[in-house]
Structure 1
Amino acid sequence: MTEIRTPRLILRRWTDDDLVPLSEIHADPEVMRWIGDGSALDLDGTAEAMERWEEEWDDEGFGVFAVELLASGELIGAVGLTVPDGPPEVEHGVAVVWRLGRPFWGQGYASEAAHATLEFALQDRGLDRVVAVNRSGNDESENVIRKLGMKQDGHTTEPGSGSLLTLYSIDLTEYEA
């Protein structure tokens, strides 16, 4: 079982016990505001997301981690890698993604977990390049992306909503552990 420990976090695969706490995170409209179509997810939608993430682990050898606090074991969100289904400019890449419960914002957890995930991608899984996609206005995620050392690759629009997206990437030669 893949597990990563950082100074404050454990990144691990999903268990059935994660469904309810993750669904509580997904039910918060502020958490989901920048994800997908911006809609909150119910218990069934959360179960589908967890199942999709676990299938990606099985198919790709990477996926989205459950993130818990090392000190308490509390689930605080999801951070990991996924093959994005859009926009077309990144469809065949691997993207680093994150979402944390609102009580855990502004404490550096997203950056800490995303950095560990990026190291996992480039050094453990041997990926040559990782991308990130950020919707215009999501300044908090842009800050995380910059802390990861990712460089802007350009802009595009989201096919469904027409929202402006900024594309970022980093490759193994640019990465500093």
Structure 2
Amino acid sequence: MIETERLILRTWREDDILPFAELNSDSEVMEYLPKCLSLDETRQFYNRIVAEHDAYGYGLYAVEIRNSCNFIGFVGFHHFDFDAEFSPGIEIGWRLAKEHWNKGYATEAAKACLADALKNKLFSEIYSFTSTSNHRSERVMQKIGMKQMGFFSHPALPDGHILKPHVLYKLELCHTYPLKAGN
């Protein structure tokens, strides 16, 4: 578990599946992803997240607001492996319910994840990427200290798909990364 001033990042529970499915079926939340997910697809995603936590001891954390115990989304790490020059690697990502946007939660949680990764020496570099039209996520990448490395065409999307062009960010984790989530 990782805690910040306002948030708790924790392992997943079965009772997260339904609010997670609601999040994944929201067309605004999923605007920069290929499609909304069904309940069955969400369960499969949940199982992959839990398996990744079991395999590595970290991953995408369920996020809740302190003292509320309500699931609001996820922030954390994911191992990726697709056909790209920088792959395989570890990415940091986030997905929060839209009523929790523009409150700094994604940035706060991502900084806490990075501080935890540095403290526990989990890895030395981290990537993040999104479609070039997703300026909100790109702004979080900038706020957490990541540097733009360039652009690429996401190989999982067909040619001509509006989301195929992606921007790539990277951060080297070293002793200079701020250890406090609020910095």
Q: TM-score, normalised by structure 2?
A: 0.89
**1:168 corresponds to which letter in structure 2?**
Y
Q: Match of 1:176?
A: 178
Structure 1 residues 48-77: Cα deviation after superposition (integer angstroms, max 9, x where no partner):
111101111111222110000103111100
1:168 to 1:9, Cα distance in 2 relative to 1, 3 A: same
Length, aligned pairs only: 173
Q: Match of 2:119?
A: 123
Which deviates more from structure 2 when the two are superposed, residues 87-96 or residues 6-15?
87-96
Quote the Cα distance in structure 2 between the aligned partners of 1:84 and 1:167: 13
Quote the Cα distance in structure 1 between the aligned partners of 2:30 and 2:40: 15
1:79–1:98 Cα contact (<8 Å) kept = yes
Runs of 4+ aligned residues of structure 1 deviating over 6 Å after TM superposition are: none
Q: Which has the higher contact order (CA 8 A, sep 6+)?
A: 2
Give the alignment's Cα RMSD to 1 decimal.
1.4
2:81–2:89 Cα contact (<8 Å) kept = no
Q: Match of 2:28?
A: 30
1:110–1:144 Cα contact (<8 Å) kept = yes
**Residue 142 of structure 2 corresponds to residue 141 of structure 1:** no
Task: Tell me the CA shift for residue 168 of structure 1.
Answer: 0.8
Quote the Cα distance in structure 2 between the aligned partners of 1:171 and 1:27: 34
Structure 1 residues 126-160: Cα deviation after superposition (integer angstroms, max 9, x where no partner):
31101101210111001100001001111111122
**Residue 17 of structure 2 corresponds to residue 15 of structure 1:** no
Which structure 1 segments of 5+ residues have no match? none
Identify the structure with the greater helix proportion.
1
Which structure 2 segments of 5+ residues have no match? none
Q: TM-score, normalised by structure 1?
A: 0.92
